[in-house]
Amino acid sequence: MGLTCGIVGLPNVGKSTLFSAISSNKAEAANYPFCTIEPNVGVVTVPDERLDVLAEFVKPQRILPTVIEFTDIAGLVKGASTGAGLGNKFLANIREVDAIIHVVRCFEDENIVHVEGRVNPVSDKEIIDMELQLKDLDSVDKKIAKSERAAKAGDAKAKAEVAALQQFKAALETGRSARSVQMDDDLRKTAIGDLFLLTDKPVIYVANVDESALAEGGNQYVDQLRENVAIENAEVIVVCAAIEAEIAEIEDLDERQIFLEEYGLKESGLSKLIKSSYALLNLITYFTAGVQEVRAWTIQKGWKAPQAAGVIHTDFERGFIRAEVIKFADYQTYKSELACKEAGKMSVEGKDYVVIDGDIMHFRFNV
């Protein structure tokens, strides 16, 4: 599955430094693949310790983790919704991503000029929010005008659609994002599914701090940001982009761990961000394990076995017969597929089986 997180933020908040760290990140293991597609797009592996456990038992020829794509989106300024700066490009790029990583400056440094002349994370966040909301409001207004014509002609579906759109309009006009509107999923899809609203995308806030704040787990700026986004039920991840860039350059895993421990960290901020991005998109992982390869596969939470099989190849879904499933905990206990099978820990599942995160699966199909 090709899934992309867009990194956004005002100029000079550390957005590009963070992306540079992602772009040079070795994703916790030297044998995990990484590549840069373009100067502003990077594909990075999702850290998953379960792969190493399976590889230890199976001894495969190769290990293939699942990946997620990050896009460094051009810095935004006030007036982007009307085309100021790189506004049109910025907004078009956001429309193409699945989730937003919003980097907010939470550090003081007189050598790094702030575009607004002061450090105020809440105000910075609201500048971007406002520009996205204004663009979304324009999209909603245009659809309301179109749907109202059908509603006046007596179209019941159009009347319901207009009523739903009015809820989004009211939220956007009062400075709330589309994601804050609570609505039945089917009605929501009918109302705005074709609009790809910018503020309806899920978001993670990255508080970029200096070294001293990182050691303390945050500062007053991080506290202000957390308080402001609490109503959105959004996650705030504290990182020091400058340190992350240093960590990413350390190829030796033991040296990297020592470096992390010096700052009192169990894992890098980037590792947390990658994992959180994966969860934000409502994704889970299942595995295939054999001598040729141990591989992680990305699917949406709630998918059934045939859909999961289709990620490997469409023929697997089209000709699906059954899935042989071992739970990760059982594989870890019995240490091989054969031992799991002999212990009665391999189940045979049909088309209605909902895949669980961590399942080790083997598909039977016929086309």
341 belongs to an annotated ligand binding site: no
3 state SS of 36: strand
302-365 to CATH, choices 3.90.700.10, 3.40.640.10, 3.40.1710.10, 3.10.20.30: 3.10.20.30
Query: What is the topology classification, in CATH, of domain 4-49+61-117+202-280?
Result: Rossmann fold (3.40.50)
Q: What value does the mean pLDDT take over residues 253-265?
A: 87
pLDDT, tens only, 142-195: 999 999 988 888 888 889 999 999 999 999 999 999 988 999 999 999 999 999
Q: According to the annotation, is 16 in a ligand binding site?
A: yes
Range among 22-31, 74-83, 84-93 with highest mean pLDDT value: 84-93
Residue pLDDT, tens place only, 207-243: 999 998 988 888 999 999 999 998 887 899 999 998 9
Q: Is 348 annotated as a binding residue?
A: no
Stated pTM of the model: 0.82
Burial pattern 62-99, b for ≥16 Cβ within 10 A else e, equals ebbbbbbbbbbbbbbbbebbeeeebbeebbebbeebbb
Architecture of domain 131-199 in this structure:
Orthogonal Bundle (1.10)
115 annotated ligand binder: no
Question: Is the pLDDT at 199 greater than 60, yes or no?
Answer: yes
Q: Residue 333, annotated ligand binder?
A: no
- Compute the mean pLDDT over every residue in the chain, rounded to the nearest whole number: 87
Calpha distance 203→364 (Å, rounded): 38
Do the domains 4-49+61-117+202-280 and 131-199 sit in the same CATH topology, yes or no?
Answer: no
Instruction: Kindly state the tokens that stand for 99.
Output: 């989730």
> Do 177 and 231 meet the contact criterion of CB atoms below 8 Å apart?
no
- The ranges assigned to domains in the chain are 4-49+61-117+202-280, 131-199, 302-365
Note the pLDDT of residue 24: 66
36 is in an annotated binding site: no
Say what the pLDDT of residue 121 is. Answer: 94
271-290 pLDDT tens trace: 899 889 888 999 999 999 99
What does the DSSP 8-state code read for residue 137?
H
Among candidates 127, 143, 135, 122, which has minimal Cα distance to 172?
A: 135
pLDDT of residue 86: 46
